[in-house]
Amino acid sequence: MKITAIREIRVPLKTNLRNAAFDFSEMTTSVVAVISDIIRDGQPLIGYAFNSTGRYACGAQMRDRFIPRLLSAKPESLLNELGNNFDPSKILACMMQREKPGGHSERSVPIGTIEVAVWDLVAKIEQKPLYAVLARLFNHDHLPVSVPCYVGGGWYAPGKGIVQLQEEIQRRMDEGYRVMKIKVGGAPIEEDMARIEAAIKIVGSPRELAVDANAAWQRPRAMEYASTLRPYGLRWLEEPTDPLDYELLSELVDLYDAPIATGENVFSTLDVNNLIRFGRLRAESDIIQIDIPQSYGITQFAQTLRMMEGLGWSRSSVFPHGGNLMTLAIVAGFGLGGCEAYPDVFGAFAGFHDDAKLSEGMIFLSDRPGIGFEGQNDLYQLMQTIVQ
Ligand SMILES: [Mg+2]
């Protein structure tokens, strides 16, 4: 049993949306196929993944370092003890050879994307959904049929005013979502507060509305928004500071007693540890949103979760970044708080299986083997172009 090839293509996301910090006009992602020598139904068994959204394609690092390391390793050194499947922890260790400590995202994104594709392959070899494999390994075999799912949106876009924002939120409520997250901080505060008030009218309660500042604020603006938003008791305030400004984050924690969410822009276990300890985040109320394919993948995430549990955090406080099937499988497998959805936003990369059912804020899982990209037709067609 061995990996015969690993291929990557760079795909543009093609969107003119923007948040408070930047626009997505140049955004790309890497789609990866890990091809094995296992033949099933006349075809080689292949694991797929992509590097989530918000970090650019990273094929150069893959081709320069990580793919050659895996393909030059002894095949049996990448297998589990029984020799009947790949061992993602050995695959991670192989890619990490000769890597200097620190400086994570340059390699955590390409490594994590390949590692998640390997998990897709591992689950397909077992002929089980990835969430079932993860549940067995990391969550006492607990198999949910559905998981909580909130919807992200409320982007700033040309010509988009309060009416269009309310229509967007109403559409999401009609689809079955119950918690909505909108962007904040990309307009003057008076305009943003009018947007938030208008959004609360549609979702019904401030507890059903989260806002995302995308790490755009410097101290004065962060303080102004935190004190203005505080009385509302929103579901959460996301990334009110630069991801590495632990001092300002800890000051905001003192000022803002409703939940704060962050973590999608730190990429290692130690970074999350620093964020929690020095940002003084609160285990009883705050939310961690690490993007798992961008942060070395699932093996590393299991370590991050162990670290968090050691600091008194529960799995229900983790809502990973990335509204896609990879995150859905991980949330279901580990029993995390919930996943996010970004329907219609990032082309073929948005959303879940085409036959996904959503009801009362819960998304229902499929029983397709692996991550289940085969049930997301547009994305799967794109993935097929890598291996033809
Ligand atoms: Mg965010």
Let me know whether 219 and 360 are in one domain: yes
Residue 285 structure tokens: 């109320």
Q: What is the pLDDT of residue 14?
A: 72
Using alpha carbons, select from 111, 109, 176 the residue that is nearest to residue 149. Answer: 176
Let me know whether 291 and 225 are in one domain: yes
Q: What is the pLDDT of residue 347?
A: 83
Q: What is the pLDDT of residues 137-176, one digit of tens each?
A: 999 999 999 999 999 999 998 899 999 999 999 999 999 9
Residue 353 DSSP label? -
Q: Does the residue 190 lie in any domain? A: yes
Residue 61's CB is within 10 A of a number of other CB atoms, namely: 16
Q: 223 C-alpha vs ligand 1 centroid, how far in Å?
A: 19
Tell me the C-alpha distance between 308 and 388, whole Å: 42
Let me know whether 164 and 311 are in one domain: yes
Q: What is the pLDDT of residues 312-342, one digit of tens each?
A: 999 999 999 999 999 999 999 999 999 999 9
Find the mean pLDDT for residues 359-377. Answer: 98
Q: What is the pLDDT of residue 20?
A: 76
Looking at 79, 109, 127, which one is the last position of a domain?
Answer: 127
Q: Is 128 in the active site? A: no
Tell me the C-alpha distance between 340 and 192, whole Å: 22
Q: Does the residue 204 lie in any domain? A: yes
Residue 373 DSSP label? G
Using alpha carbons, select from 57, 67, 59, 32 the residue that is nearest to residue 46. Answer: 32
Which is catalytic among the residues 128, 181, 321, 353? 321
- Is 274's pLDDT higher than 80? yes
Confidence class for position 204, pLDDT limits 50, 70, 90: very high
- Is 18's pLDDT higher than 90? no
Confidence class for position 19, pLDDT limits 50, 70, 90: confident
Find the mean pLDDT for residues 53-70. Answer: 96
Let me know whether 142 and 195 are in one domain: yes
Residue 244's CB is within 10 A of a number of other CB atoms, namely: 16
Tell me the C-alpha distance between 351 and 366, whole Å: 13
Q: What is the pLDDT of residues 232-243, one digit of tens each?
A: 999 999 999 999
CB 190 within 8 A of CB 160: no
- Give the angle subtended at the CA of 106 by the CAs of 103 and 110, to the nearest 5°: 135
Strands (E) located in the chain: 3-12, 28-40, 43-50, 146-153, 180-183, 209-212, 236-238, 260-262, 287-288, 339-341, 358-359, 362-364
Residue type, 279: G
Using alpha carbons, select from 317, 260, 261, 271 the residue that is nearest to residue 294. Answer: 271
Let me know whether 191 and 162 are in one domain: yes
Q: 294 C-alpha vs ligand 1 centroid, how far in Å?
A: 14
- What CATH code is carried by the domain that includes residue 177? 3.20.20.120
Q: Is 201 in the active site? A: no
CB 35 within 8 A of CB 4: yes
Tell me the C-alpha distance between 377 and 265, whole Å: 29
The two beta strands, 209-212 and 236-238, are parallel
Q: What is the pLDDT of residues 80-105, one digit of tens each?
A: 999 999 999 999 999 999 999 999 99
Tell me the C-alpha distance between 78 and 86, whole Å: 6
Q: Does the residue 387 lie in any domain? A: no
Looking at 127, 160, 189, which one is the last position of a domain?
Answer: 127
Which is catalytic among the residues 128, 181, 183, 353? 183
Q: 331 C-alpha vs ligand 1 centroid, how far in Å?
A: 17
Let me know whether 105 and 181 are in one domain: no
Q: What is the pLDDT of residue 25?
A: 83
Q: What is the pLDDT of residue 167?
A: 98
- Is 205's pLDDT higher than 90? yes
Residue at token pair 């067609």? 381
CB 353 within 8 A of CB 370: no
| Burial status of residue 195 (CB atoms within 10 A of its CB: 0-12, 13-18, 19 or more) | buried
Total domains present in the chain? 2
Let me know whether 100 and 169 are in one domain: no
Q: 127 C-alpha vs ligand 1 centroid, how far in Å?
A: 34
- Is 260's pLDDT higher than 90? yes
CB 87 within 8 A of CB 80: yes
Per-chain mean pLDDT for the chain: 96
Find the mean pLDDT for residues 60-77. Answer: 98
Q: What is the pLDDT of residue 26?
A: 87
Q: 152 C-alpha vs ligand 1 centroid, how far in Å?
A: 9
- Any idea which of 173-177, 204-208, 346-350 has the lowest mean pLDDT? 346-350
- Quote the domain boundaries for residue 319: 137-376
Q: What is the pLDDT of residues 277-318, one digit of tens each?
A: 999 999 999 999 999 999 999 999 999 999 999 999 999 999
Find the mean pLDDT for residues 18-36. Answer: 88
**Higher pLDDT residue, 332 or 22?**
332
Let me know whether 48 and 171 are in one domain: no
CB 119 within 8 A of CB 47: yes
Q: Does the residue 132 lie in any domain? A: no
Residue 2's CB is within 10 A of a number of other CB atoms, namely: 15
Let me know whether 56 and 92 are in one domain: yes
- What CATH code is carried by the domain that includes residue 93? 3.30.390.10
Percent of the chain with pLDDT over 70: 99
Q: What is the pLDDT of residue 343?
A: 87
Residue 230 DSSP label? G
- Is 344's pLDDT higher than 90? no
